[in-house]
Chains A and B, each alone.
Chain A
Amino acid sequence: GGIITQTPKFLIGQEGQKLTLKCQQNFNHDTMYWYRQDSGKGLRLIYYSITENDLQKGDLSEGYDASREKKSSFSLTVTSAQKNEMAVFLCASTKLSAETLYFGSGTRLTVL
């Protein structure tokens, strides 16, 4: 078994601030994803990385940057936090040839 660890669990920032969310997985999975989930809503794909050194934009990439520092870690940066992006950010990973995504418990972002 493995685990996905997202840090921090709660992140409070000021409007306009640059904020970074981190995700680590010990599954040795190739592919990692960042999703945003607004309250009571579905998951929207922000960025994904098929393998180390790869970066692909999702449907909601504007206002975000991502970095796949190594196989086990994938970071997401909110470039300028806005009040309307208070949400839970979920990280997931999967083996390249597989379908099942394994998720972390999320980082809840609050913007003041």
Chain B
Amino acid sequence: SQLAEENSWALSVHEGESVTVNCSYKTSITALQWYRQKSGKGPAQLILIRSNEREKRNGRLRATLDTSSQSSSLSITATRCEDTAVYFCATRSSNTNKVVFGTGTRLQVLP
């Protein structure tokens, strides 16, 4: 069963605009991670937000976590063409080392 899933399959924005990707999950977690995967590469972590944190920033990226609604968002400001990628959320449940990824949101940033 899916423990994590993003809420949009694909998004398209123009360079300079902001965009938000949302994720919902179904179990108790210790942390939620956001990854980005560019074409032909493995995913790379962008942000890790722990269950006792509500917000985390990394440059133009901002992640939020709401454990009561079991949801998270990743916002990217001032998007660039190189932000074009697939964005995944991933969770590890509190009692295992099993890390489960959502189905991903494909973001296209247009010039």
Q: Say how far A17's CB is from chain B's closest CB, in angstroms.
A: 25
Check if A103 sits within 8 Å of B97, measured CB to CB: no
Interface residues on A, range: 20 to 34
Q: Say how far A77's CB is from chain B's closest CB, in angstroms.
A: 20
Check if A105 sits within 8 Å of B44, measured CB to CB: no
Question: Is there a chain A Cβ closer than 8 Å to B25's Cβ?
Answer: no
Q: Say how far B67's CB is from chain A's closest CB, in angstroms.
A: 16
Chain A binder among B14-22, B75-83, B98-106: B98-106
- Chain A neighbourhood of B1, CB < 8 A: 59
Check if A45 sits within 8 Å of B98, measured CB to CB: yes
Check if B103 sits within 8 Å of A42, measured CB to CB: yes
Closest to A43 in B: B101
**Inter-chain contact count A-B, CB under 8 Å?**
60
Bound-state Cα–Cα, A43 to B98, Å = 13
Check if A105 sits within 8 Å of B42, measured CB to CB: yes
Instruction: Kindly identify which residue among A33, A48, A99, A103 contacts B33, using a CB–CB cutoff of 8 Å.
Output: A99
Closest to A30 in B: B97
Instruction: Kindly identify which residue among A31, A41, A106 contacts B42, using a CB–CB cutoff of 8 Å.
Output: A106
Bound-state Cα–Cα, A42 to B89, Å = 10
Question: Is there a chain A Cβ closer than 8 Å to B40's Cβ?
Answer: yes
Closest to B31 in A: A99
22 A-B residue pairs with CB within 8 Å = A31-B97, A33-B99, A42-B102, A43-B43, A43-B88, A45-B98, A45-B100, A45-B101, A48-B97, A58-B98, A59-B100, A92-B42, A92-B99, A94-B99, A99-B33, A99-B92, A100-B33, A100-B48, A101-B99, A103-B42, A104-B42, A105-B40
